Structure 1
Amino acid sequence: MTAVTATTADTFRPALHYAARNTWLNDPNGLIHHEGIYHLYYQNNPLDNVWGNMSWGHATSPDLLTWTEHPVAIACDETEDVFSGSVVFDRANTSGFGTGARAPLVAVYTSAFKEPSSRDGIQAQSLAYSLDGGYNWTKYAGNPVLDRGSANFRDPKVFRYDGDAGSYWVMVAVEANDFKVVLYKSNDLKSWELLSSFGPANATGGVWECPDLFPLPVDGDPDNLKWVLIVNLNPGGPNNGSAGQYFVGDFDGVKFTSVTTVTEGPQDPARLAEYQWLDWGRDYYAAVSFSDAPDNRRLMIGWMNNWEYANKIPTSPWRGPMSLVREVSLRTIEGNPRMVQHVAGDLTSLRGHGPSFSLEAVEIPDGQHVLTGAAGSAQRIDLSLVPGTAEEMGIVVRGNGVEGTRIGIRPAEGYIIVDRRESGQTDFHESFASVDTAPIQTRNGAYELTIFVDRCSVEVFAKEGEVTLTELIFPSRSSTGVSLYAVGGTAIANKLSVTQYA
């Protein structure tokens, strides 16, 4: 959470999520854990709360929950905007930027060149380095270090590869309009050699952006490693607008080979639901992972917004929150490796003074039923639903009897829904009022949901983290009620617990 609390003029400032104090932010980048601190860099307009003047904002956290905002880390200038990228700890000082015993942090970012640069209109990869742990940065005098002469070559994610093919740095970037991930290698972060490319594949309904590539053990088995390739795209998500997809496969130090590709080449609209989505909601984009997280955990965070309406959301003076940080892993599901996600960090430290609420084995009659004592504006809800005769069953959060966000299950259709048509302010953009869906089945006869509710968002984790939906909402300050509901019959709330955070 941020150090600034909600005021009457700032109803939507999140209690659990990071948002800049009074400026615009979008894509997270440069994520790294270094010297005991998590560093979150991000696309930032330091002069306004709409997109522009792209620079790297900066926040730090000891625990992934409480964030401190710092001055702009890497600023745009008269020749370039500073687009997305990544940060690595150059332990061996391969770049030569270190001094004495101090190894550097090195940022690899996209220079989006503009007038009066001789490269006006070109996107190329550049370097900056820090010798004080990531707070002050110096741009490399030899920038750019990798220029393909392309207008849409961006978003480098760099990591250290040590394997059968050797030991070197690997860069994963995109040719955004070609739906291609391009991979390069380097020994010093300055000179780069093309390795291979991947794509087009699966979702190609919008430009490809913000890639990531990392290994994960399947079912926790270190002898069964698979590689996960993340590709965000805009538009073309499963419920329209911005989204992220992933592929699981193998990386031999040169080429990534997917074992989960559904379609190669142009997207097949009829198979959109078969693709592997990071999140089925409208507001989880540009997700990438932290480098050097403790205990080899793979931790990810996304921008909680959608380019369809990002500049219009009704927040002030800030605009654009981040998601909660998630730990991701691979689990074998129906014979295939699939990503599962859970919120990282110990949220018990954020518990508010409000009472917790719980119930067990309660029938939900047809209609909507307010749960007295469960109201709150920032909370975790754990809910187990057993289907009965109802066509739809679920829970309404941030409600007041008139507005509310409906999170429900339609058993016959095999869908979970998030309905924000009556969630509060929706008229700031024509596409915001939506009913978003994801496929879901029971597990041991019940639907298990964990829902994180905040002042401007819901993050839904279903099927033990296999399915997630992230959605912005903008309810009235007084809309804090929680209700269970059923439509066209009855259902059972097997268990429900509410933990208050604010």
Structure 2
Amino acid sequence: MTPPDGVNGDNFRDPTTAWQGPDGTWKVVIGSYSNNQGMAILYKSQDFIHWTMHQDPLYLSSKTEMWECPDFFPVSINGTNGVDTSIENPSVRHVMKASFNSHDVYIVGTYVNEQERFLPDADLTGTSSDLRFDYGKFYASKSFFDGKKNRRILCAWVNESDSMEDDLKKGGYGLQSIPRQIWLDRNGKQLVQWPVEELNSLRDNEVYVYGKQLESGSVFEVRASLLHRQDASVTGKFGPFGLLALATKDLAEQTAIFFRIFRDHKDYKVLMCSDQKRSSLRNELDKTTYGAFVDIDPHREMVSLRTLIDHSIIESFGGKGRSVITTRVYPKLAINDEAHLFAFNNESLSVRVSRLNAWSMNKAQITAGGKPKLYPRISRGRSKEYDP
């Protein structure tokens, strides 16, 4: 495959997984940029050797930059199972994903095979209103279909927030996220993500708490939390309430993962944030605060949080995976046995910790044949998990 006329070689890269049309033709999408438009160029082949470019891109947007690491795959409208990349029938919709401007964004829509067109429910805007896999550090993701367990799995590059000097000392830059199963939410508007079930086999040393009241202004040390608004009928803004991860006892270092709830006379809005301003006493780090709205009604559903915490990475799944935020933090004091976790409530009303479970996490086991029992990230010792 070669770039079309007018497309620079640097703006032609990262093929998707190939899929096969009903007539047996192989197809693949290449990320590109031309005439101030980011795009997914479509190539076709009968033998998987000789490829020709389709006359029109499968999708393009004048509001996006160069597309890196595009992905294109079907999702079932009938449940959480994944489907093979070549499936095309009325029981699936399609997802188009692009990486640009340090974010992985996606749109859900309909693939018209006969016309080689992807018709999204809403176009990409190149703004913060676009749907993202993850609202923190999560880039260049790739999904694949696991035919053994009928699921689609997503992984991504989680880059550093450290200085270039420290990156050179470490001898590497970034790591892979925990693999996530993804599926279409039952509302059909967005994807849901959840850590793969194999992760549960690494759990150890469980602790749990049920029905603990968290009064206004209180903080208590925990291992996990599922937080429930006790009174969601009042108009206004509530919060923040949530977790302080990788924290020192005196809270000099802390990474806050928290919720705020906004309500007018008709609707609720739930905002999930990961605040890194006090994540480390070191000053040269990127300490961006990330946030995303979670599509839940707290009057009908508990506000839930599952958090995976390692030495320098925190992956947080809000609303049972409807919104996800991944951060990189580098505490100077809150390390090993000095790293604590607290639940806090800084709003005027009380919050009830309905249920919490927590585990330490063992290392992934690698068999003699080199096949992982779980997809391993860099071996850095034991981690922790906080799960509803």
Using the size of structure 2 for normalisation, the TM-score is 0.76
Find the aligned partners of 1:495 and 1:452 in 2 and give their Cα distance: 17
Find the aligned partners of 1:251 and 1:310 in 2 and give their Cα distance: 43
Which amino acid in the other structure matches residue 170 of structure 1?
A: K
The question of 1:472 aligning with 2:328 is answered yes
Cα distance change of structure 1 residues 159 and 291 upon mapping to structure 2, 3 Å threshold: farther
The question of 1:391 aligning with 2:239 is answered yes
Q: What's 2:344 paired with?
A: 485
Instruction: After TM superposition, list the pairs within 5 Å mapping 1:108-127 onto structure 2.
Output: none
Q: What's 2:29 paired with?
A: 172
Find the aligned partners of 1:392 and 1:305 in 2 and give their Cα distance: 27
The question of 1:328 aligning with 2:182 is answered yes
From 256, 260, 269, the counterpart of 2:117: 256
Deviation of residue 324 (structure 1)?
A: 0.6
Instruction: After TM superposition, list the pairs within 5 Å mapping 1:86-235 onto structure 2.
Output: 145-148=1-4, 150-151=8-9, 152-163=11-22, 166-176=23-33, 178-195=37-54, 196-201=56-61, 204=64, 206-220=65-79, 224-233=91-100, 235=101
Which amino acid in the other structure matches residue 300 of structure 1?
A: L
From 182, 192, 198, the counterpart of 1:346: 198
Q: Say which SS state the counterpart of residue 15 (structure 2) adopts.
A: strand
Q: What's 1:422 paired with?
A: 278
Deviation of residue 435 (structure 1)?
A: 1.6
Deviation of residue 370 (structure 1)?
A: 3.3
Q: What's 1:3 paired with?
A: none
Q: What's 1:435 paired with?
A: 289
Contact 1:247 1:258 in 2 (8 A): no
Q: Which runs of 4+ in 1 moved over 6 A?
A: none
Deviation of residue 323 (structure 1)?
A: 0.3
The question of 1:403 aligning with 2:259 is answered no
Deviation of residue 426 (structure 1)?
A: 5.2
Cα distance change of structure 1 residues 481 and 259 upon mapping to structure 2, 3 Å threshold: same
Find the aligned partners of 2:50 and 2:162 in 1 and give their Cα distance: 39
Deviation of residue 497 (structure 1)?
A: 1.4
From 105, 113, 135, the counterpart of 1:245: 105
The question of 1:365 aligning with 2:215 is answered yes
Give the aligned CA root-mean-square deviation in angstroms. 2.7
Using the size of structure 1 for normalisation, the TM-score is 0.60
Deviation of residue 202 (structure 1)?
A: 8.8
Render the CA deviation track for 1:408-443: whole Å, top value 9, x for unaligned. 1111263111001111265334xx112211012345
**Aligned sequence identity (%):** 20
Q: Say which SS state the counterpart of residue 48 (structure 2) adopts.
A: coil
Contact 1:203 1:245 in 2 (8 A): no
Unaligned runs of 5+ in 2: 82-88, 263-268, 362-381, 383-388
Which amino acid in the other structure matches residue 229 of structure 2?
A: V
Find the aligned partners of 1:176 and 1:397 in 2 and give their Cα distance: 40
Contact 1:383 1:495 in 2 (8 A): yes
Contact 2:12 2:33 in 1 (8 A): yes
